[in-house]
Amino acid sequence: MTRRTLRIALLGQGFMGRAHSNAFLQVEHFFDVPFDLELRVLCGRDPERLARMAATWGWQETATDWRRVVERPDIDLVDVALPNALHAEAAIAAARAGKIVLCEKPLALNAAESARMAEAARGVPTMVWFNYRRVPAVAFAHRLIEQGRLGRIYHYRAVYLQQWAMREDLPATWKLTRKQAGSGVVADLASHLIDLALWLNGPIREVAAMTHTFAVGRDVEDAGLFLARFENGSLGSFEATRFATGCRNRNAFEIHGSRGMLAFNLEDMNRLRFLDASDPEDVQGARDLLVTGPGHPYAEHFWKPGHIVGYEHTFIAALADFLVALSRGERFRPDFEDGHRVQVVLDAVERSAASGQWVRIPAG
Amino acid sequence: MTRRTLRIALLGQGFMGRAHSNAFLQVEHFFDVPFDLELRVLCGRDPERLARMAATWGWQETATDWRRVVERPDIDLVDVALPNALHAEAAIAAARAGKIVLCEKPLALNAAESARMAEAARGVPTMVWFNYRRVPAVAFAHRLIEQGRLGRIYHYRAVYLQQWAMREDLPATWKLTRKQAGSGVVADLASHLIDLALWLNGPIREVAAMTHTFAVGRDVEDAGLFLARFENGSLGSFEATRFATGCRNRNAFEIHGSRGMLAFNLEDMNRLRFLDASDPEDVQGARDLLVTGPGHPYAEHFWKPGHIVGYEHTFIAALADFLVALSRGERFRPDFEDGHRVQVVLDAVERSAASGQWVRIPAG
Amino acid sequence: MTRRTLRIALLGQGFMGRAHSNAFLQVEHFFDVPFDLELRVLCGRDPERLARMAATWGWQETATDWRRVVERPDIDLVDVALPNALHAEAAIAAARAGKIVLCEKPLALNAAESARMAEAARGVPTMVWFNYRRVPAVAFAHRLIEQGRLGRIYHYRAVYLQQWAMREDLPATWKLTRKQAGSGVVADLASHLIDLALWLNGPIREVAAMTHTFAVGRDVEDAGLFLARFENGSLGSFEATRFATGCRNRNAFEIHGSRGMLAFNLEDMNRLRFLDASDPEDVQGARDLLVTGPGHPYAEHFWKPGHIVGYEHTFIAALADFLVALSRGERFRPDFEDGHRVQVVLDAVERSAASGQWVRIPAG
Amino acid sequence: MTRRTLRIALLGQGFMGRAHSNAFLQVEHFFDVPFDLELRVLCGRDPERLARMAATWGWQETATDWRRVVERPDIDLVDVALPNALHAEAAIAAARAGKIVLCEKPLALNAAESARMAEAARGVPTMVWFNYRRVPAVAFAHRLIEQGRLGRIYHYRAVYLQQWAMREDLPATWKLTRKQAGSGVVADLASHLIDLALWLNGPIREVAAMTHTFAVGRDVEDAGLFLARFENGSLGSFEATRFATGCRNRNAFEIHGSRGMLAFNLEDMNRLRFLDASDPEDVQGARDLLVTGPGHPYAEHFWKPGHIVGYEHTFIAALADFLVALSRGERFRPDFEDGHRVQVVLDAVERSAASGQWVRIPAG
């Protein structure tokens, strides 16, 4: 029986283009992938850098006009790793051309856009690169929650703390420009927080938010904080900021339930802290789990127990899961529908920050 | 020259009565106290337990009617460690009788009460037992901030997480009864958070809050979360809860400023994490400071560097500072005026939680 | 029924005299002590400092000749907190005078001395102030081992790391003088390590050691390391040093057994790390136990769960246990016999360091 | 100008074969490699598994007779990832055939073998896969030491703790068979410890060791501990064991010097703890450095600051450094000469454990 080949076009030549390229190459080394992946076209705007990047990562061709690329008949899968402002147009064009569509997060500039994208993509397989669901420790957290090991959830607390934007004299790259990014930390960091929260703890019913720009003259917010009420009755606290001195990439959550506690921090991503409240009180304490196997998600695919995996492995594992779902005709999560649900919450956060009111999230 | 004797009446025979008794006895062992302390009267309602407690801690007499005690001419200092609902009446009576007045936190049931208390106490020395200001690591944090080591503050994040009230069948002790406690975690835990925040980071301008009671039938809130804007432009996030599985007494804060970062957790109270953003980037990281000397607050009074101090030492150090200020005729902080400022913020938190609106804090 | 009064003489006015004074005063505040303790005489060589210290801690008298004090008929208990070189003479004199004898660690300058002390004290109740057995977390570690929660022990690893003696220009106080201290870190730090090891893991059969003096001209060793074989078949590794930059008072051990693991560090003395190897592998990890109750040793005597205790509480708890044993006519551990067993191992360590050979420990 | 192609033969199809294959493929994605790497032949004994592995990792051919492979004229570089007992024969054959030779650690079964290997390889470029030198945090530790940031070294303490061999019923794979592995933890784990120690702290002068086999019937040691004296006057403590319950892969060291302290643990491999003793005492504490840039070794090659790298990246970085050295005609470290120096120390450890005597290491 011959395996199907997926011919890939990657739109984007930045940091994410590199992370995705690596995933496309590495996935078959660690997973039993049901497709042959062909790195057909790398598409970007800077021809010189594009050529170098294509050579490094083995892309067969380069192109500079993504509109043509997404319609090429020799492309099966389009991966959108462009600035946020281009996600909708590119992904919709690709979906309408019948392509499988992967898209970087956040899915869109706002919920109106993401709704159109999800609508356009109905019928084609999609994935949003919310890669942190595939951190082994996070996937294991999800499993413990699914198993009821935390019981009824009371508190969900999440922060995404970075410091790179503290200098006022930073050039206004696209992430620091509202028109291209949609918003600042809300789009960039809170989107990750919300995706994980919805996945781990279910829908959010309402939010009260504040946002702030510390850097003079910058047109996106540097910080966003919000309180939330989840459908399951638990209380949420969220904070995203690029002014957290001392924090490189602290994407962290902590969850308290009637039967246990979980805590995670991306800067220490191979670990999960887990407290089992059914342990006798005198030996009850947060357990420091090194989530590298045995028995942990993805552990048998990478190295041996105790052997650390890193940032790039989250992309590889996400892609592997997507390809398996694709081969089975199953829905992959998070898809564009999920990406849209995140966007709906982000919109509510921005509206609440603007109005100073609690804002309800319409049911999904 | 003879030293003045302070004749003390302690109102309260509970856990706090014990912590205060210990402080009254221990303070002169560790500090050069400018007074002789005489443990004259211990006042409570349960005569049998009262006699035992008086014998244990060396109180000369016991009494069951605090109204008489506070007016006794042979008492110089009245220490109010009664349930919250009795703070105002007892403290005001003591102040009007010209006594030095110490009072447990929170100062009152609400800001109206605390305003009356502060008013009544104008002219007498007062102290509110916000003991955590005197954790050596917290006092050292304050010193670093005063020295400008954190620069301009961007973020102030504080939580007070406990788990003792998660069982629904707990008896309705005074802390779980609105009439006696005023509120739940807002009065009990958020009061500590706010006192530290005001001390470390200055006045709060406005808050947006939510509170929640998880336990069916309980009439105080089990959890309270709020966002805040400080006068200095920094953003605050606060959470107090008794439903934080896995947390015994995590009173923790983290502060990010333009020049550094600080983090503290009461469950590890001899430590302070400090990041100096002026260190070269490659050797920049949070420093794990064991705040037991040399050079740290209170260090020369207790044991040697590396020798841990505990919960009770915060009361001892607070009392020592108060007595020194008293002997010098200086204002001690936090006094009733400070306790009232905390109450004003607590009221705003409760109003915001009720209304779903941001609530401004009137300037002090 | 009247309680017996114990009239106490404390020999020593240094740091340990202060820690013991505090214990004598505090023990009845936290424990139900079956005796009345009377702080009768404080004995030292510096009359002026002696008077101040007596006033601070409430000693009724002072004296400068310990030989007379230990024979006074109005003394029931003699507590020896003198430099090591004086332990034997003072303790033997006190024991011969029929006194209850407490002695600071290490018990003696060498095993010949400690043998004579144990011999002389046969018939009188004794205690050696190896206070770290009474750290709640250490006592809890002992309980877990006794319960078989660690199974068969494979490895016992202990370090005592300090840095205070790194400066070469330190004055030659008694701890840095062989004649008065017996040895350097072996007497001062390794004695603690060995007492805990013998208590937690049983007798040591043989050792191979090395010692070293880094500071030019100093006549005691600055560092001592040794390997050990225990009677129970486990392997031991020990290191004591005053040249461990960055370590204030890291007295730490880690134990690996067939059924679990334990780790402790005195700089974080309210915590114990415990791994239960019978947990399912995917949720198996070192548990961070905050050993402040409920269910932990001494927890109900001090404050509430989550409320930290400190260095001084180890002395209080040791004294409380001693007094209870005394009232019941039971043997207290560690007594002079135990102190002698430590000394026997210390001697073997020194002989091995000198000879470069493994040295067997004679059975106890 | 055309780039030279290196045609590679990999001997070994186990775990290490996989780690090396990954490095050969990935190195050019992250580093500017001065060669084209051609994965020519994968050589092993199990043809079926060999074919699958070759397909997965893109090896052009497979072979089952390494003796023929190492002599093939179309091979430039031979990578030996066979069981230890085959290292010498294969590496010597490859070297005599004029190939570049890479070899897994430990280099040989004993120092006699490694001496012959180093001798045979004189004149060909070699590398021993002591990959942990290329953990970014370890390389950064080395840099700090080279810069004198630790001053004069007093203590070097290292452990390698695993638990996988605790079950007595494990099959006798080659690592558990003396004939194939040479020894147990000494060859497997202590070799890593010694390579790092020699690199970070210089030559070892003498050792005193003990080894032990816990598992009945096993013919290699399960644990090995030794004390050491370094040429620079510092004292060393080493422990390697497969019976350390709770430890998956704790390869950790701690170094104390006159000017600072360093600590590292492979289970948390993106971090380095560094204390600078020249900081003022009150803000002196171990700094938690996230060694992912900026300014850290290899950081600009992998992802962004705060983005974790893992186990496999150590192989990639080692290979990259080797290829650069090769292109420049420079000596790469660690080469066979370095691997031999490790073996000399391992031999001394084994002799000391057998004799119970200190054993001197002949100068290099």
Token representation of residue C247: 């370590």
With an 8 Å Cβ cutoff, are D311 and A307 in contact?
yes
Chain C to chain D Cβ contacts (< 8 Å): 116
Using a CB–CB cutoff of 8 Å, tell me whether D306 touches chain B. no
Q: Name chain D contacts of B280, Cβ cutoff 8 Å.
A: 295
pLDDT tens digit string along D174-206? 999 999 999 999 999 999 999 999 999 999 999
Pairing type for strands C260-265 and C126-128 reads unpaired
Q: Do A19 and D303 touch (CB under 8 A)?
A: yes
The Cα–Cα gap between D247 and B153 comes to 41
Helix (H) or strand (E) holding C198: helix C191-201
Return the partners of chain A (3 or more C-beta pairs < 8 Å): B, C, D
| Interchain CB contact of B289 with C (< 8 Å) | no
Which parts of chain C register pLDDT below 50? Answer: none
Inter-chain residue contact D287 with B282, CB threshold 8 Å: no
Beta-carbon contacts of C28 under 8 Å, excluding residues fewer than 6 positions away, are: B56, C37
Could you tell me if C259 lies within 8 Å of chain D, comparing CB atoms? yes
Widest distance between CA atoms in chain B = 65
Share above pLDDT 70 across residues of chain C, in percent, rounded to a whole number: 99
Chain position carrying tokens 């917010």: A221
Pull the structure tokens for residue C342: 């430590």
Answer yes or no: do D306 and A56 touch at CB < 8 A: no
* Inter-chain residue contact B306 with C248, CB threshold 8 Å: yes
Report chain D residues whose CB lies below 8 A from the CB of B296.
Answer: 282
Residues 6+ apart with CB under 8 A from A248: A162, A163, A267, D290, D292, D305, D306
Q: Is B235 on the interface with D (CB under 8 A)?
A: no
Shortest alpha-carbon distance between residue B278 and chain D (Å) = 13
Does B148 contact D at CB distance below 8 Å? no
Question: For residue D124, how many C-alpha atoms fall within 13 Å in the half-sphere facing its CB?
Answer: 24
Q: What is the per-residue pLDDT for D2?
A: 65
The CA distance from C239 to C252, in Å, is: 10
Q: Are strands B250-257 and B260-265 parallel, antiparallel or unpaired?
A: antiparallel
Task: Tell which CATH classification among 3.30.360.10, 3.40.640.10, 3.40.50.150, 3.30.160.150 matches the domain B133-332+342-355.
Answer: 3.30.360.10
pLDDT digits (tens, 9 = 90+) for D153-181: 999 999 999 999 999 889 989 999 999 99
Asked if the C-beta of B15 comes within 8 angstroms of chain C's C-beta atoms, the answer is yes
The residue assigned the tokens 């499993």 is: A143
Q: Is the pLDDT of residue D313 over 80?
A: yes
Contact: D277, C246; criterion CB under 8 Å: yes
**Closest CB from B29, B248, B310 relative to C57:** B29
Q: Which residues pair with C289 in a beta bridge?
A: C272
**Chain D residues whose beta carbon lies within 8 Å of the beta carbon of residue C223:** 154-155, 235
Q: With contact defined as beta carbons under 8 Å apart, do C193 and C158 qualify?
A: yes
CA distance B199 to chain C (A): 23
- In this prediction, residue D292 has a pLDDT band, given cuts at 50, 70 and 90, of very high
Confidence of residue D71 (pLDDT cuts 50, 70, 90): very high
Which of B159, B212, B356 has the CB atom closest to A358's CB atom?
B356
CATH topology of domain D134-332+342-355: Dihydrodipicolinate Reductase; domain 2 (3.30.360)
Q: For residue C358, which residues of chain D lie inside 8 Å, CB to CB?
A: 356
User: Which of B143, B261, B272, B287 is the mutation pick for testing D, counting most D CBs within 10 A?
Assistant: B287
Q: For C87-114, what is each residue's pLDDT tens digit? A: 999 999 999 999 999 999 999 999 999 9
> Would the CB atoms of A287 and C285 count as touching at under 8 Å?
yes
Q: Closest to D57 (Cβ–Cβ): which among A29, A250, A307?
A: A29
- The answer to whether the beta carbons of residues A62 and A52 sit under 8 Å apart is no
Spatial strand order in the sheet of D4-11: D61-63, D35-43, D4-11, D77-80, D100-103, D126-128
How many DSSP H helices and E strands does chain C contain?
Answer: 11, 15
- The class of domain C4-132 in CATH terms is alpha beta
Rounded CA-CA distance D239/B159 in Å is: 41
pLDDT of residue D168: 86
Q: Where are the beta strands (DSSP E) in B144-277?
A: 153-161, 204-212, 223-230, 235-241, 250-257, 260-265, 271-276
**Cβ-defined contact of C277 to D245 (cutoff 8 Å):** yes
pLDDT at residue C2, rounded to an integer:
66
Q: Which of chain A's residues have a Cβ under 8 Å away from the Cβ of B261?
A: 244-247
CA–CA dist A93, A236 (Å, integer): 37
Residue D221 in contact with partner chain C when CB distance is under 8 A: no
Helix residue ranges, H only, B122-186: 136-146, 178-181, 185
pLDDT of residue B2: 65
Q: How far apart are CA C9 and CA A146, in angstroms?
A: 64
The answer to whether residues C205 and C349 touch, using CB atoms and an 8 Å cutoff, is: no
Chain B nearest-CA distance from C17, in A, is 12
> Mutual orientation of helices B336-355 and B111-120 as an angle, nearest 10°?
170
**B163: chain A residues, CB-CB within 8 Å:** 256
Q: What is the DSSP string of B297-335?
A: TTTTTSS-TT----HHHHHHHHHHHHHHHHHHTPPPSS-
Give the mutation candidate from D150, D287, D288, D296 for the B interface (greatest B CB count, under 10 A). D287
Residues of chain A with pLDDT under 70: 1-2
Residue type, D60: Q
ipTM of this complex > 0.95? yes
pLDDT number for residue A85: 98
Q: Could you give the angle at which helices A47-57 and A15-30 cross, rounded to 10 degrees?
A: 10
State the pairing for strand pair D235-241/D153-161.
parallel
Give residue-wise pLDDT tens across range D209-229: 999 999 999 999 999 999 999
> Which DSSP category does D257 fall into?
E
What is the reported pLDDT for B3? 80
Residue of B208, B245, B277 lying closest to A277 (CB–CB):
B245
B-chain residues near D294 (CB < 8 A)? 281-282
Q: For an interface test with B, which of C308, C314, C315 has the most B Cβ atoms less than 10 Å from its Cβ?
A: C308
Cβ of residue B306 closer than 8 Å to a chain D Cβ: no
Same fold, C4-132 and C136-332+342-355: no
In the block, tokens 């840099």 appear at D143
- Find out whether the peptide bond into B334 is cis, omega within 30 degrees of 0: yes
Q: If DSSP codes are grouped into helix, strand and coil, which group holds residue B356?
A: coil
Choose the mutation target among B312, B315, B316 for the interface with C, i.e. most C CBs under 10 Å.
B312
Q: Subunits with at least 3 CB pairs below 8 A relative to chain C?
A: A, B, D
- Does B246 contact chain C (CB < 8 Å)? no
The closest CB to that of B312, out of C21, C248, C303, belongs to C303
Query: Given a cut of 60, is residue D1 above it in pLDDT?
Result: no
Task: Confirm or reject contact between B289 and chain A (CB < 8 A).
Answer: no
Per-residue pLDDT of chain B (364 residues; tens, 9 = 90+): 568 999 999 999 999 999 999 999 999 999 999 999 999 999 999 999 999 999 999 999 999 999 999 999 999 999 999 999 999 999 999 999 999 999 999 999 999 999 999 999 999 999 999 999 999 999 999 999 999 999 999 999 999 999 999 998 899 899 999 999 999 999 999 999 999 999 999 999 999 999 999 999 999 999 999 999 999 999 999 999 999 999 999 999 999 999 999 999 999 999 999 999 999 999 999 999 999 999 999 999 999 999 999 999 999 999 999 999 999 999 999 999 999 999 999 999 999 999 999 999 998 7
Cβ–Cβ pairs < 8 A, chains A and C: 50
CA nearest neighbour of B349 among B244, B240, B200, B247: B240
CB atoms within 10 A of CB A117: 28
Q: Is it true that domain C136-332+342-355 has CATH number 2.60.40.420? A: no
Task: Determine the residue of chain D that is closest to C238 in CA distance.
Answer: D237
Of B28, B305, B307, the CB nearest to C56: B28
Half-sphere exposure of A351 (CA within 13 A, CB side): 14
Q: In whole angstroms, how far apart are CA A33 and each of A59, A324, C150, C300?
A: 19, 7, 43, 59
Rounded CA separation D226/C352 (Å): 14
Peptide bond connecting D73 to the previous residue in cis, omega within 30 degrees of 0: no
| Domain definitions of chain C by residue range | 4-132, 136-332+342-355
CB within 8 Å of A244: residues ≥ 6 apart: A161, A162, A163, A250, B154, B155, B256, B261
Helix or strand (DSSP H, E) at D338:
helix D336-355
| Count of alpha carbons within 13 angstroms of residue A48, beta-carbon side | 0
Residues in chain D closer than 8 A to A268 (CB atoms): 268
Kindly state whether A144 is in contact with chain C, defined as any CB-CB distance less than 8 angstroms. yes
Q: Count of residues for chain B?
A: 364
Give, rounded to a whole angstrom, the gap between the first and last alpha carbons of chain A: 41
Rounded mean pLDDT of chain C? 97
Query: Phi/psi of residue B208, each to 5°?
Result: -130, 125
Indicate the length of chain A as a whole number. Answer: 364
Q: How many Cα atoms within 13 Å fall on the side-chain side of residue D350?
A: 21
pLDDT at A172 (0 to 100): 87
A4-131 CATH:
3.40.50.720
| pLDDT tens sequence across C183-226 | 999 999 999 999 999 999 999 999 999 999 999 999 999 999 99
pLDDT above 90: residue D347:
yes
A133-309+342-355 CATH: 3.30.360.10
- Mutation for D interface: C145, C206, C235, C275, most D CBs within 10 A: C235
Mean pLDDT of D310-334: 98
Q: Tokens 């603690």 appear where? A: C192
- DSSP calls for C43-69: E-S-HHHHHHHHHHHT-SEEES-HHHH
